[in-house]
Amino acid sequence: MKKYIITISAIILVLLAFDWIYFHEGIYFDFGKKEPVEYFMKARDGEIYMEKNGAFVPFEIKGVNLGSGIPGEWATSFAIDKETYLRWFGYIQDMGANTIRIYTIQNDTFYDAFYEYNENNPTPLYMIHGVWVNDYILNSHRDAYNKEFYDTFLENSKIMVDVIHGNRKLNLGRVASAGHGTYNKDISDWVIGYILGVEWDDSTVAYTDDLYDGQEGFSSYHGKYMYTSEAASPFETMLTMVGDKVIEYETGRYSDQRLVAFSNWPTTDPFEYPQVVKDFFMKCARVDVEHIKTTDSFIPGQFASYHVYPYYPYYLSLVDDWSIFGISSKEAFRDELGRTNSYRTYLQMLNNHHTLPVVISEFGVSTGRGMAQVDKDTGRNQGNTSEQMQGQALIDCWKDIKATGCNGGCVFTWQDEWFKRTWNTMHAVNLTRTAYWSDYQTNEQYFGLLSFDPGEKKSVCYVDGDISEWTEKDKIISGSQELSVKYDEKFMYFLIKKDGLDFEKETIYIPLDITPKSGSNYCENFNIKFDRDADFVIVLNGKDNSRIMAQERYDALRSTYSKDIYKFDTYFKKNIPQKNSPKFVKIDLILRTSIPAALEIKEASAESYETGHLFYGNANPESAEFNSLADFCRSGDYIELKLPWQLMNFADPSKMEIHDDYYDGNYGIEYISINSIYAGIGMGIDRIELSPIKLRGWRNKVTYHERLKSSYYIMQDLWKAESR
């Protein structure tokens, strides 16, 4: 009996050891038997091909990028369930897409769902799989040959190969910024290729190239599958080494190969720009995958992957002579209105440069209310774009992609993601809490074709003129002028009633007291008085001249960007506004910081725009007149209004955190919690009385429901028509 127990125990230990070595560590045993290499994709002569019925036919990538975030969860939680993935895959394919692109290893739930969706699907959905470089490693190790950078990048790439072949087990945290689980579903038949890496930090590229410039072994590499040209830089050599070893690993372990690309974007594009562009954009690095060559042993080949948006880069606007980019005439890139299409021009530059197929693996615009960049040529801006405008912008981008010879692209992105941040609003919110509310001012959250609207089945209010959703319990002020208020994870809603309202001739003022630290009981702009200190005034003055304004001491833009916008430091004692200043200012959002004057660039001044201006329209998605940007709507004696939380200086409405006094020992934005605010209504004739609004927040318990945006159906019409 003792020997039996010992024998069984030994067998169990051996099996456990094998399981750990083979599935957890990825160590395999090569017994010398070589199977023929299998592949179903090829890149040849600037085009991508897929094998169908024994022949290779052209394959145009119609893709959608898929993130891992949902409301109330961070992307790194990988909290999306199998049923949701299956539903989304159906939506994506029904839109006319043939490919999804993911950025990193997901939880095993994703791969189980992808396998189940494709297993008996005669027209499967394909995938491009990415390998993420963790932000900490990318930004803290400027040397790409650093062991923590290079070794981790290579190891994670090999793990990704095992994952798609259903041959890996990952514990939580084994791969940074990636999922975990037991990966036992082989989805490799539907993975057309890999995009290795991320949007490279230009300083990492420049530092690596400078550090190893001229050093033997860092500007040349010759592997079995990939090698460098003589012009390769040290960073490009690093990419070649990683790519070669990943192909070697997949070929050796699985006798399988597929397309390979390395991530790139305009910041590290391969072009040599005039000095004015280098200075203005601080452009210091280039990555050119034309310097990465492949041997006959790697059959599928490479494609060139780029993230390109219509509003970035706007490099070309600073360059008069385009001949240096191989563009002989600007006239070929003007539309019927005479506008220069710099987006199409840039895509043409990429295709002129590359012998490889070019895939625009990210393109899109945001339906966020806030805006971060402007496409001054065609108006395809980064934010402040309705869902219908988003759809048209995607059509225009797609037409540019096709017209310039690209081999397709991937819309960024499938779903809105509440946790995202944007450079020009991140100063104003609590970045540790962004997953728990929908910040309509942060455009980065709204690139999706799928919206997550507050409320389990529908939102508590739609600004559409239908007041049936309002009840007596929402009312805070009664009389000839009435005010009702409610809120959810995205907006604070107001219902305004004024007997005999003359909408275009009368002006209604709604003061808001948000912070107990400052404010004024008098607004000199309109000569109106309040019975308590107010921080904001909503001015409803017809369809085209309505806005929300902030007391100058509570101006968030000034607190952070006074040097850029106002040309003075607001924290000098003489520049600090008084706590009870009667001056109210328009609410602006910065679009571009200033460039040092020493560079003598005429476009170097900062830019901002008025984000406090209120847009009139119908915001009900079920209405034929739906405009997602609509802030207010009139119906008879009633006006419905919605304000995004950040516009009222809420840093985290889920916990009812607002901006503290910027100047009272803070030197910037800190937060305080509140449990009520005050609001009033008046015409400016008598002193306006403010009434309390109790606030509770919702902390981590968010509610939401899915809604396909108007842009989804616009893209569906386009791609379905192309497939007919």
pLDDT digits 0-9 by tens, 595-613: 765 456 666 689 999 999 9
Predicted confidence (pLDDT) per residue in 59-74, tens digit: 999 999 999 999 999 9
* Residues 566/586, Cβ–Cβ less than 8 Å: no
Domain range for residue 504?
461-702
Encode pLDDT of 495-529 as tens digits. Answer: 999 999 999 999 999 999 999 999 999 999 999 99
pLDDT at residue 313 tops 80: no
The DSSP line for 149-191 is: HHHHHHHHHHHHHHHHTT-EEE-TTSSTTS--EEE----GGGE
Instruction: Compute the average pLDDT of residues 541-562.
Output: 97
pLDDT of residue 340: 87
**Averaged pLDDT score across all residues of the chain:** 94
Rounded distance, CA 109 to CA 182, Å? 9
In this model, does residue 325 exceed pLDDT 70?
yes
Least confident of 10-19, 123-132, 194-203, 296-305: 10-19
Given a contact cutoff of 8 angstroms between Cβ atoms, the answer to whether 698 and 654 are in contact is yes
Between CA 486 and CA 495, with CA 492 as vertex, the angle to 5 degrees is: 60
Q: Say whether pLDDT at 569 is over 70.
A: yes
Residue 22 has what pLDDT? 64
Higher pLDDT pick, 200 / 134: 200
pLDDT at 118: 98
Res. 644 pLDDT band, cuts 50 70 90: very high
Count of other CB atoms within 10 angstroms of residue 276: 17
- DSSP annotation string for 17-82: HHHIIIIIS------S--PPPB--EEEETTEEEEEETTEEEE--EEEEE-----TTS-GGG----H
Percent of the chain with pLDDT over 90: 84
Residue 653, domain member (yes or no): yes
Q: Is the per-residue pLDDT at 322 higher than 90?
A: no
Q: Residue 601: what pLDDT? A: 62
Per-residue pLDDT tens over the stretch 175-209: 988 999 999 999 999 999 999 999 999 999 999 99
Chain segment 10-22, per-residue pLDDT in tens: 666 665 665 656 6
**Does residue 121 lie in a domain region?**
no
> Does 559 fall in a domain?
yes
Query: 221-227 — which CB contacts under 8 Å span 24+ positions?
Result: 223/248, 223/295, 224/248, 224/295, 224/297, 225/251, 225/294, 225/295, 225/297, 225/298, 226/292, 226/293, 226/294, 226/295, 226/298, 227/292, 227/293, 227/294, 227/295
Domain presence at residue 444 = no
Question: Is 90 exceeded by the pLDDT of residue 343?
Answer: yes
Q: Which of 438, 472, 576 is nearest to 71 (CA)?
A: 438
| Residue that is written with structure tokens 């530092």 in the block | 207
According to the model, what pLDDT value does residue 602 have? Answer: 61
Token pair recorded at residue 146: 């650093």
Report if residue 242 sits inside a domain.
Answer: no
Burial class (CB in 10 A: 0-12, 13-18, 19+), 562: middle
Give 466-483 pLDDT, tens digit per residue. 999 999 999 999 999 999
130 and 194 Cβ atoms separated by less than 8 Å: yes
Cβ neighbours of 423 (radius 10 Å): 12
Residue-level pLDDT at 605: 81
Range 149-162 average pLDDT: 97
Task: State mean pLDDT over 674-696.
Answer: 97
The pLDDT of residue 397: 97
Would you state the torsion angle of the CA atoms of residues 520, 524, 529, 532, taken in this order, to the nearest 10 degrees? Answer: 0
In a domain, 491, yes or no: yes
In a domain, 511, yes or no: yes
Q: Between 340 and 335, where is the model more confident?
A: 340
> In the 8-state DSSP scheme, what is residue 577?
P
> What Å distances lie between residue 198 and 194, 529, 681, CA to CA?
12, 54, 51
**DSSP letter assigned to residue 125:** P
- Tell the burial category of 240 from Cβ atoms under 10 Å away from its Cβ (0-12, 13-18, 19+): buried
pLDDT at 292: 98
pLDDT at 319: 84
* pLDDT higher than 90, residue 696: yes
155, part of any domain: no
- Please state, in angstroms and rounded to a whole number, the distance separating the CA atoms of residues 466 and 575: 46
Q: How many domains does the chain have?
A: 1
Q: Is the pTM of this model over 0.75?
A: yes
Residue 591: name the closest of 394, 443, 448 by CA.
Answer: 443
Res 134: pLDDT = 87
Q: What is the DSSP string of 325-378?
A: GT---GGGGB-TTS-B-HHHHHHHHHHHH-SS-EEEEEE--B--SSEEE--TTT
